[in-house]
Structure 1
Amino acid sequence: MNARRPIAVALTAGAVSLGLLTLSACGTSPSDAAEGKGGRLDVVASFYPMQYLAEEIGGGHVAVRTLTAPGVEPHDLELKPRQIGELGEADVLLYLKGLQPAVDDAVAQAGVRHTVDAATLTSLDSPAAEGGEHADEHAEEPAGDSHDGHDHGASEGLDPHVWLDPVKYAEIARGVGAALGKADPAHAADYEKNTDALVKKLGDLDTAFATGLKNTATRTFITTHSAFGHLAQRYHLEQEGITGVDPESEPSPARIKQLQDIAKADKVTTVFFETLASDKTAKTLARDTGLKTDVLDPLEGITDKSKGSDYLAVMRANLAALQKALGAK
């Protein structure tokens, strides 16, 4: 099996078979690799944030496939044998190491020359997974319960949800653009132009968040999935997660009691939940504390329930939700 010149693939978690060991790259030229896709580069992305970058930067020069279908929680993804086999045929692989360990293993064995790990393009450092000044008070609670034995980077104190910080996402975009240019030198100028345009849009988004959240009645927000540590750090907010980075884990009674106290002390008005995970815990906490509920989307995928059709639109919906919940002035 020929391994085509890698372009941009982002991978998600799943069952990895020994068949990947046979996917070592023999190496074909960029022109040969593109022939099977109508002259376009074959880019594989692990989940939506990587897919969005590939499509925005690659434009008409790339054919983008994603391993995570719309509506599938990325942390829960299992790769099918067919998907695993196709990894080695990609021109470019785009993924984020530490988000989906099974995907990490598959990528390591696929042998794709142009493999891009978004985690190497920016810093994953952020506050504790539960976040905020109260993190030490519930240190006995794990930062994120493991899912199928995986802690999604929490064991190293790293938060993989860097795409929710427009500044860090722009840094990743720069790296992806450079990688596409190396994989497809003939269109490097177009990739650079598209990267600059996307970075400009992300800069405008950053300005909107910084301005829109500058003056608020409270700086604390409660959310089911502790995915917003980078966003909170960027805009000087305090994230308090009901669970850790695993959206399906259950909080302890002690944590629920603590959140009730935090909500009262910090004048929290809203408990946020997300579209791809159960809202049961958030609604229970809100009911017991007399709070409202709303959606804060971690943008791990776009569905018909998303408040927008792409990354920028959903992020602006997130901003509006935060402004309302925090009492922006």
Structure 2
Amino acid sequence: MRTLGLGLALVTMVAGCSTATDTDQGSSTTLSVVASTDVYGDIARQIAGDEADITSIISDPSADPHSYEANSRTQLALAKADVVIENGGGYDDFVDTMLKAAGNADVTVLNAVEISGRTAPAGGELNEHVWYDFPSIEKLTAQLVSTLSAKDPANAATFSANGTAFTTKLRQLESTEASIKSAHDGTAVAITEPVPLYLLEASGLVDKVPSAFSEAIEEGTDVPAKVLAETLELFSGKEVALLAYNAQTSGPETETVLAAAKAAGVAVVPVTETLPEGEDYLTWMAGNLSAIQTALG
């Protein structure tokens, strides 16, 4: 499992590393919310509205989140935060490392993986990409509403109303997944990494890529030649209907797979780990589902 920028070196904070701040930490709003990525930052924004400052540590849509390195501005934001939203599951361990150094005893940390209840399957690894799992985001939303309301009771009604509206839209996305499943249940697909796997599975689609391939790509290790050959045969044999391709991380093996899919006329659905430019969480996920529907025909 690759993680977002790790190591004690991040506590020393090198200058020049990117930190994205959605609003100024110096403003007078009651609450300060810090999210590890702009995915969770946007969800917090939709729930908190104007009643909190939201800082998203990682927000570059063209960057590989796994290569992130934190800086002193990130440390300061965490030191002042009322609420921190992290993914967990080993994805963004740098948040916990920095929080220990921040000495912020009053912060409430929401760990999306823990809240989701998702665990590793028997004999397998946890898929930590729970932001592609709408029931998990529903649970996170409910916990976020509860936490913000406890921190700022005067605006509890606002948080509750926003949470209800957001959850309603999440369920519309779940309805779209159900529609895809109704039309294409059991259809074979391919992935380069498990990033969108929860969404694909909820849509009734079955990943046929050898687990050794996607695990090697996620871990940043070499793919065995036999495993790569088995993966490429999925495309040359027209055994899969689409390839869900992580556009934020690439290497020789994933580029080879992408080329094979295109050569075979297999539809490619790019996916990302952070928000595409100009998108919010809901429009992003709606776009992912629309791309899958188009690819399946």
Structure 2-normalised TM-score? Answer: 0.79
Q: Which residue of 2 aligns with 1:146?
A: none
Query: Which structure 2 segments of 5+ residues have no match?
Result: 13-23
Are residues 1:114 and 2:87 paired? no
Q: Which residue of 1 aligns with 2:243?
A: 271
Identity of aligned residues (%): 23
SS at match of 1:321: helix
Matched pairs, number? 274
For residue 96 of structure 2, what is the amino acid of its counterpart? Answer: D
For residue 37 of structure 2, what is the amino acid of its counterpart? Answer: F
Structure 2 Cα separation of the partners of residues 223 and 297 of structure 1: 10
Structure 2 Cα separation of the partners of residues 180 and 75 of structure 1: 29
Displacement after TM superposition at 1:40 (Å):
3.8
Flag the structure with higher helix content: 2
Q: Which residue of 2 aligns with 1:296?
A: 270
CA RMSD of aligned residues (A): 3.1
Contact 1:47–1:66, Cα closer than 8 Å, also in 2: yes
Are residues 1:226 and 2:200 paired? no
Displacement after TM superposition at 1:292 (Å):
3.1
Displacement after TM superposition at 1:264 (Å):
6.1
SS at match of 1:243: helix
Matches within 5 A, 1:315-326: 315-326=285-296
Q: Which residue of 2 aligns with 1:179?
A: 147
Matches within 5 A, 1:54-69: 54-69=44-59
Displacement after TM superposition at 1:117 (Å):
1.5
Displacement after TM superposition at 1:210 (Å):
0.9
Contact 1:273–1:293, Cα closer than 8 Å, also in 2: no
Contact 2:184–2:204, Cα closer than 8 Å, also in 1: no
Task: From the superposition, tell whether residues 12 and 258 of structure 1 become closer, same or farther in structure 2 (CA, over 3 Å).
Answer: closer
Task: From the superposition, tell whether residues 284 and 256 of structure 1 become closer, same or farther in structure 2 (CA, over 3 Å).
Answer: same
Are residues 1:73 and 2:64 paired? yes
Displacement after TM superposition at 1:223 (Å):
1.7
For residue 319 of structure 1, what is the amino acid of its counterpart? Answer: L
Which of residues 226, 232, 246 is equivalent to 2:218?
246
Matches within 5 A, 1:76-87: 76-87=67-78
Structure 2 Cα separation of the partners of residues 286 and 232 of structure 1: 18
SS at match of 1:325: helix
Structure 2 Cα separation of the partners of residues 215 and 126 of structure 1: 29
Structure 2 Cα separation of the partners of residues 314 and 19 of structure 1: 33
Contact 2:228–2:253, Cα closer than 8 Å, also in 1: no
Contact 1:273–1:279, Cα closer than 8 Å, also in 2: no
Which of residues 205, 216, 221 is equivalent to 2:173?
205
Structure 1 Cα separation of the partners of residues 242 and 139 of structure 2: 31
Q: Which residue of 2 aligns with 1:100?
A: 92
Displacement after TM superposition at 1:96 (Å):
1.6
For residue 75 of structure 1, what is the amino acid of its counterpart? Answer: H
Structure 2 Cα separation of the partners of residues 253 and 291 of structure 1: 23
For residue 273 of structure 1, what is the amino acid of its counterpart? Answer: Y
Contact 1:220–1:326, Cα closer than 8 Å, also in 2: no
CA deviation digits over 1:167-223, x for unaligned, max 9?
A: 221111111111111111111111111101100000011001111232228622112
Contact 1:57–1:191, Cα closer than 8 Å, also in 2: yes
Task: From the superposition, tell whether residues 282 and 217 of structure 1 become closer, same or farther in structure 2 (CA, over 3 Å).
Answer: farther
Displacement after TM superposition at 1:247 (Å):
7.5
Query: Which structure 1 segments of 5+ residues have no match?
Result: 1-10, 21-33, 129-135, 137-142, 144-156
Contact 2:192–2:244, Cα closer than 8 Å, also in 1: yes
Task: From the superposition, tell whether residues 266 and 182 of structure 1 become closer, same or farther in structure 2 (CA, over 3 Å).
Answer: farther
For residue 165 of structure 1, what is the amino acid of its counterpart? Answer: D
Structure 2 Cα separation of the partners of residues 18 and 268 of structure 1: 42
Matches within 5 A, 1:16-31: 16=8
Are residues 1:312 and 2:282 paired? yes
Displacement after TM superposition at 1:95 (Å):
0.8
Displacement after TM superposition at 1:265 (Å):
6.5
Deviates more, 1:259-268 or 1:314-323: 259-268
For residue 220 of structure 1, what is the amino acid of its counterpart? Answer: A
Deviates more, 1:46-55 or 1:65-74: 65-74
Contact 1:53–1:176, Cα closer than 8 Å, also in 2: no
Task: From the superposition, tell whether residues 251 and 273 of structure 1 become closer, same or farther in structure 2 (CA, over 3 Å).
Answer: same
Structure 1-normalised TM-score? Answer: 0.72
